[in-house]
Structure 1
């Protein structure tokens, strides 16, 4: 792992779940959505979310949600083929129906096929299943963002991360590539004590839809060959699979381990372990 980082010329970091690993704000977001649901299903609403976090529900980080059919899809991250589909109650879609509904490469679009890349998407999918509106999710999301700048909220800093980035910046390009909006990114970096450490920040990148496009732009900017670049993140769909397909190295932050074997892939439980 140390050799991989030291031999690279470009490090591309995700933000949420990578530079900080707190999850309380996801629970807060879900509570706000729960309050917007009909009273009779509010307990069931939050209970489904709790099952997702524990891995006891078909919906989970790393899956894809089919908004049209209300299905949790298992997708091969390298071929983008749907390998399984499950209803909300866990029952599988019949094989014949699976092949008919998902005949080829799945294209994420944020409209029908939602890549559940991190904890933000679990409350969102729960809200969609229980009949809330897009406006409900947007209002609750913005309220959560306000909570994250209040005195009630604080982020945990990864030990040694700032010092490591300061050292690495001396002879490597450090890039931040995130789906978060620019004002949120700058605020979070300041709270984490990491502001000013990245050569370039790419906010609102619409991963995974535009991951390859942005990665190509970053490589071209500094004329870096893929094998000298490393994509670092907690979202296999968003940051890891596209990087591997383009020939980059990748560091996947996953505390529960990961079974996929790839020559360019390194799996670590936390970002602290990467440094």
Structure 2
């Protein structure tokens, strides 16, 4: 198969908006926080959401070291490290502990690329061992009548028009059951001809990008990655000389000719580029 252009979309935080589910996740995690730490847990979580804490979207968190890391997204090298209270590590300690590119594994070192990871890091700091079960509970809650997940107006029609002109693929860390439920909720059933679930981004992002480029026989410059997590979807695309659309209201970590940043996907739909 050979196509003129290929668009690779993320799902969570990209094709739907809102942050209430992050707060629900925090509430579920709080059930596992010791009572003596609850007030501090909520204080730090709220501060991190408001960019008033060393923990913030765009950082990384090392569970074992209980350290908040500033990572160069293009090289995956640790530039700075801070303790939870905001005190900085010496450059010598940073070089000693992080003497190679870091690897994100969803458990020991995580990229705080979106709002899912703020409550996770806060819970880990305050001693919660198993966060995954609360994540599953949150995903289940998101497809109940109690939770309103509204389709983005015009998005389905936009994606269908794009599909008529070229190829579109969905690649997400969510599992197949979650994706099926979310597609139904978001009125996106039947839109994507190819869906990659449980993608384990960023660990396997390069692998899937290479597979897709080969499958569709398309040059890197004709592939566009669309997502809200810079380390998961954007930096790997730029490093492969692909184009990228970064869906985020937070600061842009790099200036790149192949990169467009918008606050919401509707902004990109209305002012389409790439």
Please say whether Structure 1 and Structure 2 have the same fold, judged by a TM-score greater than 0.5: yes
Q: Secondary structure at the match of 2:31?
A: helix
Q: Deviations over 1:200-233 (max 9, x none)?
A: 0000000000100011111111111110110001
Structure 1 segment 1-275 matched on structure 2, within 5 A: 9-134=5-130, 137-275=131-269
Across the aligned residues of Structure 1 and Structure 2, the Cα RMSD in angstroms comes to 1.4
CA offset digits 1:243-275 (Å, max 9, x no partner) = 110111000011234252111111111100111
CA deviations over 1:12-67 (Å, ceiling 9, x no partner): 00001100021111101101111221112112111111111111111112211111
Unaligned 5+ runs, structure 2: 270-274
> Under a length normalisation based on structure 2, what TM-score does the superposition of the two structures give?
0.94
- The answer (yes or no) to whether the contact 2:61–2:69 under 8 Å persists in 1 is yes
Residue pair 2:59, 2:68 contacting (<8 A) in 1 also: yes
Q: TM-score, normalised by structure 1?
A: 0.94
CA distance in 1 between partners of 2:140 and 2:200 (Å): 22
Following the alignment from structure 1 to structure 2, what is the Cα–Cα distance between the partners of residues 179 and 259?
22
Moved over 2 A (4+): 109-112
Go from structure 1 to structure 2 and tell me whether the alpha carbon gap of 1:8 and 1:270 turns closer, same or farther (over 3 Å shift). Answer: farther
Partner of 2:272: none
Deviations for 1:135-193, whole angstroms, at most 9, x for unmatched residues?
xx122122212211211101132222111111111121110000001110111011111
CA–CA distance in structure 2, aligned partners of residues 265 and 167 of structure 1? 22
Give the whole-Å Cα distance in 1 for the aligned partners of 2:205 and 2:111. 13
SS of structure 2 residue aligned to 1:55:
coil
